[in-house]
Structure 1
Amino acid sequence: MDNTDKNRTYALGFDVYGTLVDPLALAEPLAALVGEHAIPFAALWRTKQLEFSFRRGLMRRYVDFDVCTRQALLYTQQALRCALPESDQARLLNAYLRLPVFSEVVASLAALKQQGHRLMAFSNGVEASIRALLANAGVLPHLEDVVSVDDLRTFKPDPAVYAYLAQRTGRAAGDTWLISSNAWDVIGAKAAGLRAVWVKRQPDFVFDPWDIEPDVIVSQLDELPTRFAARLRAN
């Protein structure tokens, strides 16, 4: 790709959990195990998974995201008083590798790839786990690469991981975009000099009032091909 072509395309780093696949869909397998606690269980598990990664990044006591996920599962069982045998815990952790993709994702990635953009997954997750998850979801063939923070042994929103994404894409930070449903992730990318899309999957979601705003807001990924085409024409 020559410089002229680069000026007509972007490097796009897609957050995985909550953006490409739905971690709260774990409520379905949880229903058979914890009944009416399934939805709060899935939500708390996800919340503690992120919290544990944030805390470990700040403390510089790194363990990988798979460990954070397992420890968050243990916490959630204790907090909700829903003790599960090890066999059920193993099945739930395996379910994390088979999360369902949001309905518009595959077609949206195909359209963006057709436009010539460089598409990568960019995740707190361990690369091998993310590759397995995205392969099971049918997403991996549409992506050029998987960029994991595990390479740096820290977590988003550390500025170093966003600089690493730009480095891996081979583009300037201003031509590298994060696409994420997580407001904290968007803010982290913007603070590090990248551009960012917030995927506001629910109309009642609120963006953190930090005086940092996303460059683009969409409700689903299928809005992106048109939005990016319009931005490039305007440039």
Structure 2
Amino acid sequence: MNYSIGFDVYGTLVDPVDMGLHLENLIGDKASEFGQLWHDKKVEYAFRRGLMQQYADFTVCTQQALQYCLNVYQISLSTTDQQQLMARFAELSTFDDVIPGLKKLVQHGHQLAAFSNGPELSVRKLMTNSHVLPHLQHVISVDDLQTYKPNPDVYQYLMRRMHADMNSCMMVSSNPWDVIGAKSAGLQAVWVKRSPSKLFDPWEIQPDLIVSDLCELAEVLNS
């Protein structure tokens, strides 16, 4: 069976914590902790805005999360340095399995989309810079609906954009909350367990499939 597959971007296709030398050059030996907190906080801010129905796009969430982290670590960065850090989100690297996995899925006739909380233009730029875009048929953003995952409306929107139904549309994400959101909206959902130490939420909603990477996903769907 051929599926219409929506891939979460940050954490599934690219590593949002891996700012590497960009953070180290400005922040020093706390760069890894800073990067993780920054990621966690921007997701939290998106959740809050979705629940409050006070939408601002993901760039705003990311900028405010950066300011929070600077306050936590008592770091002062110039406006220019902050802008440079924000710009680096267009240069995040893919996980090693992403392009090989996507190629195998396309070869077997699956329809693929990047499906993100990020604005479409930003996601397209990131997918272009990371050489992922040629392997996708769609780039779909929640920005079109002015809300965020895991609102069920956004998963229904994914199905409409991909002209798919609940039997043929699949969400693939490394984020358990995203998998749970997709499942609760009626989609099939795959959890990409990118680390052996990661745990799935002990909810009544569980993924249809657990894989370690996208190459394993391709093997399972193409078998």
Paired with 2:218 and 2:123, the residues of 1 have a C-alpha distance of 24
Which of 200, 203, 215 in structure 2 is aligned with 1:210?
203
1:69 maps to 2:62: yes
Displacement of 1:83: 1.5
> Given the superposition, is the C-alpha separation of residues 27 and 44 from structure 1 closer, same or farther in structure 2, using an over 3 Å criterion?
farther
Which of 77, 88, 92 in structure 2 is aligned with 1:99?
92
| Contact 1:163/1:173 (<8 A) preserved | no
Paired with 1:33 and 1:191, the residues of 2 have a C-alpha distance of 41
Q: Deviation per CA, 1:29-57, whole angstroms, max 9, x where unpaired?
A: 11111111101110010011000000000
Q: Deviation per CA, 1:79-125, whole angstroms, max 9, x where unpaired?
A: 11111111111111010010001111111111100000000000000
Displacement of 1:229: 2.3
1:228 maps to 2:221: yes
1:81 maps to 2:106: no
TM-score in terms of structure 1 length: 0.93
Q: For structure 1, which runs of at least 5 residues remain unmatched after alignment? A: 1-7, 231-235
Paired with 2:46 and 2:218, the residues of 1 have a C-alpha distance of 32
Paired with 1:207 and 1:155, the residues of 2 have a C-alpha distance of 21
Displacement of 1:155: 0.1
Paired with 1:98 and 1:173, the residues of 2 have a C-alpha distance of 33
The 10-residue stretch of structure 1 (81-90 or 53-62) with the greater mean CA deviation from structure 2: 81-90
TM-score in terms of structure 2 length: 0.98
1:147 maps to 2:140: yes
Which of 175, 183, 186 in structure 1 is aligned with 2:179?
186
Which of 154, 159, 169 in structure 2 is aligned with 1:166?
159
The 10-residue stretch of structure 1 (35-44 or 127-136) with the greater mean CA deviation from structure 2: 35-44
The 10-residue stretch of structure 1 (19-28 or 213-222) with the greater mean CA deviation from structure 2: 19-28
1:57 maps to 2:58: no
Q: Give the fraction of aligned pairs with identical amino acids, expressed as a percent.
A: 51
Displacement of 1:174: 2.3
- State the SS of the aligned residue for 1:24: coil
The AA in structure 1 aligned to 2:87 is N
Q: Which residue of structure 1 aligns with residue 83 of structure 2?
A: 90
The AA in structure 2 aligned to 1:220 is D
Q: Following superposition, which runs of at least 4 residues in structure 1 exceed 6 angstroms of deviation?
A: none
Say what the alpha-carbon RMSD is for the aligned residues: 0.8
Matched ranges for 1:105-124 at <5 A: 105-124=98-117
- State the SS of the aligned residue for 2:219: helix
Paired with 2:22 and 2:109, the residues of 1 have a C-alpha distance of 38
Q: Which residue of structure 2 aligns with residue 136 of structure 1?
A: 129
| Contact 1:27/1:41 (<8 A) preserved | no
- State the SS of the aligned residue for 1:62: coil
Displacement of 1:129: 0.1
Displacement of 1:10: 0.4
Paired with 1:182 and 1:27, the residues of 2 have a C-alpha distance of 21
Displacement of 1:28: 2.9
Displacement of 1:222: 0.6
1:11 maps to 2:4: yes
The AA in structure 2 aligned to 1:209 is P
Which has the bigger relative contact order, CA under 8 A and spacing at least 6? 2
The 10-residue stretch of structure 1 (48-57 or 78-87) with the greater mean CA deviation from structure 2: 78-87
Displacement of 1:26: 1.1
